[in-house]
Amino acid sequence: MNNIQVYSRNTLLHRLGLPTGTKSVIFFISLMLITLPMAHVYNTLAVILFVLFTVLSYQRASMQIHRHAALWLPIILVGLMTASVAGSVDTVVSFKALSKEAPLLFIPLAFGIMRSLRYKHINDILRYYSSAMCLLAIYITLRAVFRFFSGEGMHVFFLNGLATLSISLYLSVFLSLAMFYFLGKKNNTYWGKVAMYFLFFVIILLSKKIIIITDALVVIVYYLFFSKDDRANRVYSILLFTVLASALAYYGNVSEIMERENERRTGAPATETVHNITLQEAWTKESFSPADYLNGYAFRLYQLRTAKEMLSGSSRMLSGYGINASSVEVKKRGEARGLTYTGWADQPYNTLNFHNQYIEAFSDLGIGGCLLIIAMVVYSLYNAVRRRYFIHIAFSVLMISLFLTESFLWRQKGLVFFTVFYCLFNTPGIFVKQNNV
């Protein structure tokens, strides 16, 4: 009976023109990653197709989920999210958020039942993904050039002028991993090096500080411990990356300041002087006015303060407020302090999330959720260092640092990106020890 079912599924796949071999697996994983910068509907469709294909091509002998602890961590996290709905302060918000976290369950399950991927298969996926991201970087750069010559200012080359606010952060992350692929590629060609420097150039133009700092550190680590170049070339490469990052980051920072000064926040009187909130004020100030501006550091410190107040001496430290429901309490506390005026992205400060994945998980799911997030990134970094696999190390370090400034897993693009690469790097069937990609 089981053989008949396998034969029927294989026949269906062949009629659809999809062989059950590894090539199809590589295609669907690559499709999930390449569609990340697109509208959610395309990426959602790619995830569904990947899961359906793995189910239809499933064979009992290929099941590996019981052999990989890495796959169970995101699945347990989804279980905790589901349980949090029952004790949520707003079950409607939590239930709606839970449906968006579905990839965190289905992608690891799909990796657990599909045939094992070897090192060369992972390399193929990385090559397709990185090439697609390079083409995307070329497109947004050419678009900026066209807008500049159409009469728009230099701002089109920086920050949200280069990419829309809703995707600029994610784009920086996507391009970073592609850059790391070209950086660590064994027997890299001239065009591979050009692609690497070009991607780094665009990442700096996007001006996401945490990404630029992390990328620069990872590049230095590569040339110190992984590069096969002679000492002179390694020193030259480190200096080139440092100078390029410093020069462009400085100009991008100036552009950011000018953009901020030109913005008109709703609710602020036209004649009122803008006051930049200090870190001390962010931690202690009890009342804010529309003239108060919180930059990235001040805002994140204020959110840390809010989380401390929400969780201290409360049973919510163990259970959390429910997936995505801590935002309800954040909003109330923001209203009490007068942070209802527009801050970033045309949104009031009190409606913004924590911009810290660890704090977000702690507030929503309790200490267990925070520990699971930490366990995933630490386990990933441990595997990467143990195997001396550079791009895996780069991915893990990038995620650890990014989670300090962004609630990355609470958005579909970030969730799918992390889950796919987490599963891809931590659950290969036969991993060939290798220093370079």
pLDDT, tens only, 370-409: 999 999 999 999 999 999 999 999 999 999 999 999 999 9
What would the mean pLDDT of 71-77 be, rounded to a whole number?
95
Cα distances (angstroms) measured from residue 175 to each of 137, 206, 253, 254, 419: 8, 10, 20, 23, 17
Q: Is the pLDDT of residue 262 over 80?
A: no
Which residues lie below 8 Å from residue 214, measured CB to CB, with a gap of 6+?
Answer: 176, 397, 398, 401, 402
pLDDT tier at 61, thresholds 50, 70, 90: low
Direct distance between the N- and C-terminal alpha carbons of the chain, in angstroms, rounded to an integer: 43
144-148, 198-202, 226-230, 254-258, range with the lowest pLDDT: 254-258
Tokens standing for residue 43: 């990426």
Handedness of CA 363, 367, 368, 371 (dihedral sign): positive
Residue 188 is predicted with a pLDDT of: 82
| DSSP label at residue 9 | H
Residue 410 burial (CB count, 10 A): 20
Residue 299 is predicted with a pLDDT of: 92
User: pLDDT tens digit string along 113-162?
Assistant: 887 788 899 999 999 999 999 999 999 999 999 999 998 888 788 777 78
Tokens standing for residue 187: 């027997």
